[in-house]
Structure 1
Amino acid sequence: MQYKNLGRSGLKVSQLSFGAWVSFGNQLDVKEAKSLLQCCRDHGVNFFDNAEVYANGRAEEIMGQAIRELGWKRSDIVVSTKIFWGGSGPNDKGLSRKHIVEGTKASLKRLDMDYVDVIYCHRPDTFTPVEETVRAMNHVIDKGWAFYWGTSEWSAQQITEAWGIAERLDLVGPIVEQPEYNLLSRHKVESEYLPLYTNYGLGLTTWSPLASGVLTGKYNKGGVPPDSRFALENYKNLASRSLVDDVLKKVNGLKPIADELGVPLSQLAIAWCAANPNVSSVITGATKESQIM
């Protein structure tokens, strides 16, 4: 495994990382999570990603319990979570100071950890002043509940605004963005964010390198495999948007390239994301050890 600095920070993250989205709580419980996490560690993965909204908090509980039962040394791993959707109450979502502070404390309780290494604003909040969010994230860092903060699915303009405020107030700006990035979704990472890499040393932890499994080619055979995420009730909408002729045609076009290299299409797709010098870590998901291998 290779390790890269998270943006311009001193934090080292494995080039491939593991995320709990979809799988933990929806498909897997603690026992299966332990075997997957240990398989990741055995192959050098040190970075594990989560969010308060994943399985309504259950994903954090599962990851926390699995790590505790595995007996890992906390300083050996990098754990991140994301704050935005914390519940149904009017103050349980968004990036107000109230929700950032309360949401972070609730996440740490579920993870059973004193701190996370990285905390993300899971989406931009157009109803909260960016200055309030920047100050709240710095409060979280000052309290030692997180070491670094970042954004997920923010626009270049929003990240630039956050950095402008941080610099004006002599505060810490967002060091990392977590966008979707794969062979079918490239604009943000390759065009929109370009100035941010040099201006602010922004790092990326990208998600969905396989476009929710589409880039494995498993959906090109027709039909949806019963053990795939597109077979899950709450992901049927995603399936109908992703499994269209135009997309499947592109996937078919990539197959000969993978064959020529002698690798599975999934490996080609993940390696392609990791080869981008601005990507610090590619977040992957898995429900079986064989997929991690």
Structure 2
Amino acid sequence: MEYRSLGRSGLKVPVLTLGTGTFGGVGGFSSWGTTGPEEARRLVDICLESGLTMFDSADIYSRGESERVLGAAVAGRRDSVLISTKVTFPTGRGPNDCGSSRHYLIRAVEASLKRLGTDYIDLLQLHGYDAETPHEEVLSTLDTLIKAGKLRYIGVSNFSGWHLMKALGVSDRYGYARYVAHQAYYSLVGRDYEWELMPLGLAEGVGAVVWSPLGWGRLTGKIRRGAPLPETSRRRDQKQNDIGPHVGDEHLFKVVDALDGVAAEIGKTVPQVALNWLLQRPGVATLIIGARNEQQLRDNLGAVGWALTKDQIARLDAASAVMPAYPYWHQRQFSRNPPPV
């Protein structure tokens, strides 16, 4: 397993991280998976055997059950793993049961520590941007939690470029700990990350922790032109379709066709090729892979240990390219402002 630095930090992380959104299977997260304690421990065993030592969760996944199942699965080997989790989204109905206020962050971190059965979190990420809480309050609180030994590193998720840059400026101004990770959506059918967030990350030392690298379940190799959706696909869940990124059918099938061609050439699966493409992108530290079962996990683990050729990457680039939003399409006309990739 290859390891990379997480942004501009000294922490080394494996290029693949196991996402535990499938752990627990409570409430709306049952469409992601229903992995129980016994199977979760087996998946963790397989990960550790392969050198994958990082596991990502969130306090809202299955109403906290994901963290509990993960904590039980790594019990007795905490020093051998890296735990990443997220807070910010609502966990109750009260006005202070969400966000990034000092009140909520401290309470949320303490609750996650208890569910995970640990006294520290390796990487805590804010799951979303809280526009009602000043950056100074957020970062001073996180800095205090780091100094207390409860957090090792901090990051964000789903921030816009200017929100993230403003936060980094506050850290630099007051000497608070900086965000070193941005957990962001990025895939062959969702390349918006490249327009602003990738160059920001490269310039400021914020590593990409990629969520849904298979395009919200679209690049599993099971969705093809003219074929019915798989029985277990999240594409059958209308709620998931509504909240997830939109991808036009023709664009999706164009990308899948290119993936099929490359996969056939090199004897790899469509998901393996899609993941390997992401691992060649600048600033990517780790990809969060999901697995409903052992077979899916082992297939995803096959995405590392080899590399696509420049020609294969170029073909996938061409098939997945779309016109960027303004002002990025205009900026690319100027030779002194090239795209980051």
Same fold (TM over 0.5): yes
Q: What is the 5 A alignment of 1:17-166?
A: 17-25=17-25, 26=30, 27-68=34-75, 71-72=76-77, 74-85=78-89, 86-166=91-171
- The two structures, once aligned, show a CA RMSD in angstroms of 1.9
Q: Is the 8 A contact 1:230 1:239 kept in 2?
A: no
In structure 2, the residue matched to 1:4 is: 4
Structure 2 counterpart of 1:47, which letter?
A: M
Bigger drift between 252-261 and 88-97 goes to 252-261
Which residue in 1 is equivalent to 2:223? 219
How far is the alpha carbon of 1:239 from its aligned partner?
7.8
The amino acid across from 1:130 in the alignment is: H
- Return the letter of the residue paired with 1:32: E
Instruction: Name the structure, 1 or 2, with higher relative contact order (CA <8 Å, separation 6+).
Output: 1
Gaps of 5+ in 1: none
1:255 to 255, 260, 266: 260
Gaps of 5+ in 2: 299-341
Larger radius of gyration: 2
Report the CA distance between 1:255 and its aligned residue. Answer: 1.4
Deviates more, 1:237-246 or 1:277-286: 237-246
Cα distance between partner residues in 1 of 2:244 and 2:199: 33
CA distance in 1, matches of 2:240, 2:12: 33
Range with bigger deviation, 177-186 or 211-220 = 211-220
C-alpha distance after superposition, 1:106-141 (max 9, x if no partner): 111111110110000111111111211111111221
SS of structure 2 residue aligned to 1:154 = coil
Task: State the identity as a percent.
Answer: 35
Equivalent residue letter for 2:183: Q
Amino acid across the alignment from 1:16: L
TM-score, normalising length: structure 2: 0.80
**What is the TM-score when the length of structure 1 is the normalising length?**
0.92
Matched, 1:267 2:272: yes
The Cα of 1:234 is off from its aligned counterpart by 5.0
2:22–2:292 CA contact under 8 A, matched in 1: no
